[in-house]
Amino acid sequence: MDELLVVEDLKTHFFTRRGVAKAVDGISFTLRHGESLGLVGESGCGKSMTCLSILRLVPEPAGKIVGGRILLRGENLLEKSGKEMHKIRGGQIAMIPQSPMTALDPVFSIWSQLSETITLHQQLKGKSVWNRAIDSLREVRIPAPEDRLRAYPHELSGGMRQRVIGAMALACEAKLIIADEPTTALDVTIQAQYLTLLREMRSRLGAGLIFITHDLGIVESMCDKVAVMYAGKIVEEAPVEVIFKSPRHPYTQALIESVPKLDRKTDRLKAIDGQPPPLCDVPAGCAFRPRCPMATAQCNKAPSHVQVQEGHWVRCWQCP
C-alpha cells in the first residue's frame, strides 16, 4: 500500500487572552490507502483538532496552523488556496461528524444537500445527479431512497442522518474518510450496523480511514493501528494488536485498564486520577507526569519519541 496521507510535525495553536493553547503540538503519522487509524484519548487531547487541521477548518482568527506539513497523495494541503481546499473537502476528503443533525442544514431537504455535493465534485447534471443520489442512499441501506431524498433532516432518525452523511462520502468516492465519533448518539444495534457500513465503504473505495473515538472496543474491531494522544501530542503509536497486548506508555495502560472486561470480575473500575492539563498551561517535561504513578525526576524533562519495536513508537522515559 502506498502512502495516502503523511502528517509531519503538525502544530495548531490558539492565541487567546490566557496564552497560547497548543491544541496540536508537533504530531506526525502516516496513513496508507485502505488503512485505518484510530485516534484515542480523553476529551481535549487534540484528536478532533488534528482532523480539522487536515481539512484546513481550524476556527479563525484565534486558531492557526503554525508549523508542519500535511501531504495528501504527495501534495501539501497547507500550500493550497481556499478555492482548492473547497474542492478537496468532500471530493478527496470526507468527514463524518459526531452530530449529523448539526452538520446537515435543517432548512434544506436531503436532496438539496446531497445533490449539491454530487454536482460540485462529480460534475454530473440533470437526471444523472438524481440517479447518483438514489444509488448512494441505497448503498448505505436507506429504505425508500426516493422518499428520503424529499425529506428534511428532522424527519429522519439519528441512524438515518448518519447514513446520509455516509452517502455523501460514497457519492464523491473520497479517498480519505475522517469519522469523528460517529457512533456516539446511536444505540448499540444501529451502532453495529453503522460500523459494518463504514468497513464496507472503506473496502469499496479503497479509502484510508481516521477514526476518532473514546470507545477502545470499537478501535480494536475497526482499526489497523492506533495513535494515543495526550495534551496535543501522540504519546504512543502501534498496530492495534500490539497496543492491546503490550501497551508501553502509562497513559495507554491506564486507558485500557479503565475499560470493563467480561472475563474479569471487579468491584470497582480503575480510573485515571486528575484531569488533562489546560492547553494554555501544560506542565514542563512530560505532560502526563502529574497524573502518572511511574513518574520520576527525569520526567521533568520532555521525553523523546522512541521506537521500541517495528512500528511501535512511545514518548516516555519509563519505557525501555
CATH of the domain at 293: 3.40.50.300
Please give the Cα distance from 260 to 277 (Å, whole number): 25
Instruction: Looking at the structure, tell me whether residues 78 and 213 fall in a common domain.
Output: yes
Domain that includes residue 118, residue range: 102-173
Instruction: Looking at the structure, tell me whether residues 187 and 272 fall in a common domain.
Output: yes
Which of 125, 146, 173 is the last residue in one of the domains? 173
pLDDT tens per residue, range 61-101:
999 999 999 999 999 999 999 999 988 988 899 888 877 77
CB 164 within 8 A of CB 142: yes
Average confidence (pLDDT) over 166-183? 84
Residue 124 located in a structural domain: yes
pTM exceeds 0.85, yes or no: yes
Average pLDDT over the chain reads 89
Which of 156, 173, 190 is the last residue in one of the domains? 173
Instruction: Looking at the structure, tell me whether residues 151 and 194 fall in a common domain.
Output: no
Instruction: Looking at the structure, tell me whether residues 76 and 158 fall in a common domain.
Output: no
Instruction: Looking at the structure, tell me whether residues 148 and 210 fall in a common domain.
Output: no
Instruction: Looking at the structure, tell me whether residues 298 and 190 fall in a common domain.
Output: yes
Instruction: Looking at the structure, tell me whether residues 197 and 281 fall in a common domain.
Output: yes
Instruction: Looking at the structure, tell me whether residues 74 and 219 fall in a common domain.
Output: yes
Which range has highest mean pLDDT (8-12, 204-208, 210-214)? 8-12
Is the pLDDT at 1 greater than 60? The verdict is no
Percent of the chain whose predicted confidence (pLDDT) is above 90: 52
DSSP string, 154-188: GGS-HHHHHHHHHHHHHHHT-SEEEEESTTTTS-H
**Residues pairing with 313 in the sheet:** 237, 307
Residue 138 located in a structural domain: yes
Instruction: Looking at the structure, tell me whether residues 219 and 252 fall in a common domain.
Output: yes
Residue 320 located in a structural domain: no
Q: How many domains are there within the chain?
A: 2
* Cell numbers that stand for 293 in this block: 504513578
Contacts of 30 (CB under 8 A, 6+ apart): 3, 5, 6, 7
Confidence class for position 6, pLDDT limits 50, 70, 90: very high
What is the pLDDT, as a whole number, of residue 27?
94
Instruction: Looking at the structure, tell me whether residues 123 and 65 fall in a common domain.
Output: no
Residue 97 located in a structural domain: no
Which of 173, 203, 219 is the last residue in one of the domains? 173
* Cell numbers that stand for 315 in this block: 514518548
CB 162 within 8 A of CB 39: no
Instruction: Looking at the structure, tell me whether residues 65 and 206 fall in a common domain.
Output: yes
What is the pLDDT, as a whole number, of residue 220?
87
Instruction: Looking at the structure, tell me whether residues 252 and 293 fall in a common domain.
Output: yes
